[in-house]
Amino acid sequence: MPDINEAKEPCQSSKHLGICRRNRYNAMFMDTKEHLPPQARGNDPASFAAYTMQERLPSILEQVLRDNPYPQSVHAHLQAFRDELAEGFPQPFLDAGPDTPYWHAQWGRWGVVAWQELPWFLAETWFYRRILYETGYYTAGPSQYHDPFFVVKQRALQEGLIQLADILPTVPSGFNEAALRAWLRISLWGNQADFSNQAALASATSQKGSEGRVLVDDGTAIWGYLEAQSEPKIDIICDNAGYELLNDLALADWLLQAGTARRLRLHLKAQPYYVSDAMPKDVLASVAALRTSAVSELASLGARLDTALHEERLELRNHLFWTTAETAFHLPDELVKTLAQADLLLFKGDVNYRRLADDRYWPHEMPFAALANRVPRPYAALRAIKSEIVCGLALGVDERVAAQDPGWLTEGRWGVIQFSQGEQ
């Protein structure tokens, strides 16, 4: 595969990538075997991937050490891992995790490649799995099944309750297109609250300031599709716990109340991942916090969600696929069958968007519906943009926005609500 560095003009910095000219995507720079643009890698000095590998991931290790009373041995292991990230190669590990054979296979394939040169999606996902190994998540002892990001998630939940209480009164009443589009935007901007990306977290502001920052809004098309269905089944592939998950639960409640959805299923992570990604336990904690809130609107929301869970109108799933380094181009058959039970899939957040796009540098103007992944039903993506992987923009939008905001691709201030019919 040609070196992606050859295909780019210099950008302002690795953290504030604006727009590197479209010759970055010319066919001569694509993988000649697959005719695809290259995947993001950590050794591209003008990319957010490089910034992640060199700055963000080491900072996350420090945060894990600050937030948890791990013994000195774990501190030593994580410090050694930090050194390995900077200048070493991935090391094999063995624990009782259900995905250990998968990661052993990855090491067999990629163990001779330095961390900084790995495909970015693989490197990040491997990083979070190694944290679980180094902290003893799957090892019998005091740290077994202890979420290393528990403190972050708890703080995010408490802050999110305050934010949601402010948002609820602003949503249009009724069950109509205006209300759906408002809920989709609320769910979208909740994705700013990503504790693995401090720049995006710092950008999270009142949704009143988000007007004009949705670069694609297919809300009307989504409403039209749902209107044509008879009691559709909807799946949400979730991203972050805290404020985003609370917003997603409020959206789920609205869809169930409206009769728009007969059954709603949340797809969650089976183990801690990307700092604040939501697991089933985070949903249960969120519903419990809502139910016991002193704010009547939140308490009523929590009660309805609790009832929906008990009546199995709201279901929780946690397939291990969502914590692997595989993308939607390689969905396993059993997960394809599960997703095919839904009439509409809502993919939340940046990591899920990167999965949909195979983490490749597609032309920004390439149609979103052209992504040839294995998602089996019509789907939508609700995402605050926090990496350079994006497509489906109108011609020239990237240049216009980059001139206004050099950090537009990585800091979560801009978003998309995109809809694709997918495979039928």
Provide CB contacts within 8 A for 355, sequence distance 6+: 121, 326, 327, 328, 347, 373
Which whole-number Å values give the CA distances from 18 to 13, 200, 381, 388, in the listed order?
9, 15, 22, 9
CB 85 within 8 A of CB 62: no
Q: Does the pTM exceed 0.85?
A: yes
| Cα separation, 13 vs 174, whole angstroms | 46
Dihedral, 408, 411, 417, 421 alpha carbons, nearest 10: 90
Residue by residue, DSSP assigns 95-146 as: -S-TTHHHHHHHHHHHTTS-GGGSBHHHHHHHHHHHHHHHHTTTSSSTTTT-
Q: What is the pLDDT of residue 34?
A: 62
Identical fold for domains 39-135 and 150-420, yes or no, is no
Distance CA 148, CA 60 (A): 11
Q: Determine the CATH number of domain 39-135.
A: 1.20.930.60
Q: Which fold has domain 150-420?
A: Rossmann fold (3.40.50)
Residue 209 pLDDT? 58
SS3 call for 162:
helix
CB count within 10 Å of CB 195 equals: 21
HEC profile for 28-93?
A: HHCECCCCECCECECCCCCCHHHHHHHHHHHHHHHHHHHHCCCCHHHHHHHHHHHHHHHHCCCCCC
Residue 422 region, left (φ>0) first, then alpha (ψ -120 to 50), else beta? left
Cβ–Cβ under 8 Å, residues 249 and 287: yes
Q: Which of 362, 350, 361 is nearest to 413 (CA)?
A: 350
Phi, psi (rounded to 5 degrees) for 317: -130, 150
Q: pLDDT truncated to tens, each residue of the chain (424 aa)?
A: 223 222 333 233 333 333 333 334 333 334 444 688 999 999 987 899 999 999 999 999 999 999 999 999 999 999 999 999 999 999 999 999 999 999 999 999 999 999 999 999 999 999 999 999 999 999 999 999 999 999 999 999 999 999 999 999 999 988 999 999 999 999 999 999 755 544 444 454 445 557 789 999 999 999 999 999 999 999 999 999 999 999 999 999 999 998 788 899 999 999 999 999 999 999 999 999 999 999 999 999 999 999 999 999 999 999 999 999 999 999 999 999 999 999 999 999 999 999 999 999 999 999 999 998 999 879 999 999 999 999 999 999 999 999 999 999 999 999 999 999 854 4
Measured CA distances, 169 to 3, 69, 173, 188, 253 (Å): 51, 40, 9, 18, 15
User: What's the confidence (pLDDT) of residue 422?
Assistant: 58
Cα 185 to Cα 90: distance, rounded to the nearest angstrom: 39
Distance of alpha carbon 38 from alpha carbon 31, whole angstroms? 6
Residue with tokens 């769910």: 187
Model pLDDT, residue 258? 85
Write down the pLDDT at residue 260: 80
Contacts of 252 (CB under 8 A, 6+ apart): 236, 261, 264, 266, 305, 308, 314
List CB contacts of 399: < 8 A, sequence separation 6 or more: 19
Residue 244 and residue 190 in contact, taking contact as beta carbons nearer than 8 Å: yes
Under a CB-based contact definition with an 8 Å cutoff, are residues 311 and 253 in contact?
no
SS3 state of residue 376: coil
Domain boundaries, the chain: 39-135, 150-420
- The whole-angstrom distance between residue 143's C-alpha and the CA centroid of its chain comes to 26
What's the rounded Cα separation, in Å, for the pair 308 and 409? 37
| Beta strands 233-237 and 263-267, pairing class | parallel
pLDDT of residue 1: 28
- Are 59 and 129 a contacting pair, CB within 8 Å? no
SS3 call for 415: strand
Count the neighbouring beta carbons within 10 Å of the beta carbon of residue 300.
15
Residues sharing a CB contact under 8 Å with residue 161, sequence separation 6 or more, in sequence order: 246, 289, 290, 293, 295, 298
* pLDDT of the residue at 202: 47
Report strand pairing: 415-420 vs 344-348: unpaired
